[in-house]
Amino acid sequence: MSAAGDGDWRAAAEVLEQALEVAPRWAPAWLALGEAREKLAETVRAARAYRAALLLDPDDALGAGPRLARLNAASPPALPRSYVRALFDDYAPRYQRHLTEGLAYRGPELIAEALDGASPGRRFSLALDLGCGDGMMAARIRPRVERLAGVDLSSAMIAKARQRGTYDELHAEDICVFLEARPAASADLVAAADALPYFGDLTRLFGAVACALAPGGLFAFTAEASDSDAYRLHETLRFAHSAAYLEACAAQAGLARLTLLPASSRREKGRDAPGWVGVLECR
């Protein structure tokens, strides 16, 4: 919509309301109206529009629920899986170019460097790449891995990863479901480059990682940094986590910290987004 693209949120809202008079069951228009009203700081009207979108899209592929939670200064425990799947199915054709050229993304490089620092020269028999996307992480860890499995909610992303030919297994599936279905203690490396920002509460994820790892296995990840006590959902609909929360979830799962360092894996609005790179060990 040109008005929204020009930053004229008042005009955008008026156009959307006119469209909804003709097509009142058009869920994307309700979502866009909510976004316009939120930009105008009209939170009550924005919430009303988001609720309408959610009513028409109960699986919440549009992500109205998280936006509604943010209006109420709340952080849900997770994003709707249908939203994440739809987001990355749509994102797949332009994913790598946007990450590398638009966001200066370097999550895989940070993880590779962290692994070199925590366990220099170590090779792994089985690595699991969580939220593998189109396979950017594979290029960094494949040389030190005998067998590599990738998982992503998005079937479009999995199709892109398959084209690389670097994975032994690829699964279009929920990450936690994938981990919980695997034989216990079967992997010695789990990597998660830019997967944690799509989880708020990390309890289940870290527990599932710990179950999948053999004793001495490593979990290497990037995350966005929050100054809250636990985690917070940002305007980007990505979660940020505090160092204390990451360490608490790790300890609860039986994962010991080898390293957790400030590191930015991407840029947002022309600035480095505060983040973490961590390596945990299964005890």
Taking only the tens place, the pLDDT of each residue in 260-269 is 999 999 998 8
What are the tens digits of pLDDT across the range 165-177?
Answer: 999 999 999 999 9
Mean pLDDT of 153-158: 97
Write out the two tokens for 18.
Answer: 């006119």
Structural domains of the chain sorted by starting position, each given as residue range(s) with its CATH number in brackets: 2-74 (1.25.40.10), 94-282 (3.40.50.150)
Q: How confident is the model at residue 101 (pLDDT cuts 50, 70, 90)?
A: confident
Report the pLDDT value the prediction gives residue 53, as an integer from 0 to 100.
98
Q: Tell me: pLDDT of 113 over 90.
A: yes
Report the pLDDT value the prediction gives residue 229, as an integer from 0 to 100.
81
What are the tens digits of pLDDT across the range 76-88?
Answer: 999 999 999 999 9
Q: Tell me: pLDDT of 3 over 60.
A: no
Q: Tell me: pLDDT of 131 over 90.
A: yes
pTM value? 0.93
> Any bridge partners for residue 256, and if so which?
281
Q: Tell me: pLDDT of 134 over 70.
A: yes
Report the pLDDT value the prediction gives residue 75, as an integer from 0 to 100.
87
State the Cα–Cα distance between residues 119 and 217, nearest whole angstrom. 11
Report the pLDDT value the prediction gives residue 102, as an integer from 0 to 100.
87
Q: How many CB atoms lie within 10 A of CB 241?
A: 24
Q: How confident is the model at residue 208 (pLDDT cuts 50, 70, 90)?
A: very high
* Tally of CA atoms within 13 A in the half-sphere of 224 that contains its CB: 25
Q: How confident is the model at residue 135 (pLDDT cuts 50, 70, 90)?
A: very high
What are the tens digits of pLDDT across the range 52-85?
Answer: 999 999 999 999 999 999 998 888 999 999 999 9
State the Cα–Cα distance between residues 73 and 104, nearest whole angstrom. 30
What are the tens digits of pLDDT across the range 217-251?
Answer: 999 999 999 988 899 999 999 999 999 999 999 99
Backbone φ and ψ for 130, nearest 5 degrees, come out as -85, 130
Q: Tell me: pLDDT of 252 over 60.
A: yes
DSSP states along the chain = -HHHHTT-HHHHHHHHHHHHHH-TT-HHHHHHHHHHHHHTT-HHHHHHHHHHHHHH-TT-TT-HHHHHHHHTT---SB--HHHHHHHHHHHGGGHHHIIIIIS---HHHHHHHHHHHHSTT--EEEEEEET-TTSHHHHHHGGGEEEEEEEES-HHHHHHHHHHT--SEEEES-HHHHHHHSPTT-EEEEEESS-GGGBS--HHHHHHHHHHEEEEEEEEEEEEE-SSSSEEE-TTS-EEE-HHHHHHHHHHHTEEEEEEEE----EETTEEPPEEEEEEEE-
Report the pLDDT value the prediction gives residue 6, as an integer from 0 to 100.
61
Strands 271-272, 267-268: pairing is: antiparallel
State the Cα–Cα distance between residues 43 and 37, nearest whole angstrom. 7
Written as one letter, the residue type at 280 is L
Give the relative orientation of helices 155-164 and 81-91 as an angle to the nearest 10 degrees: 50
Q: Tell me: pLDDT of 5 over 60.
A: no
Contacts of 42 (CB under 8 A, 6+ apart): none
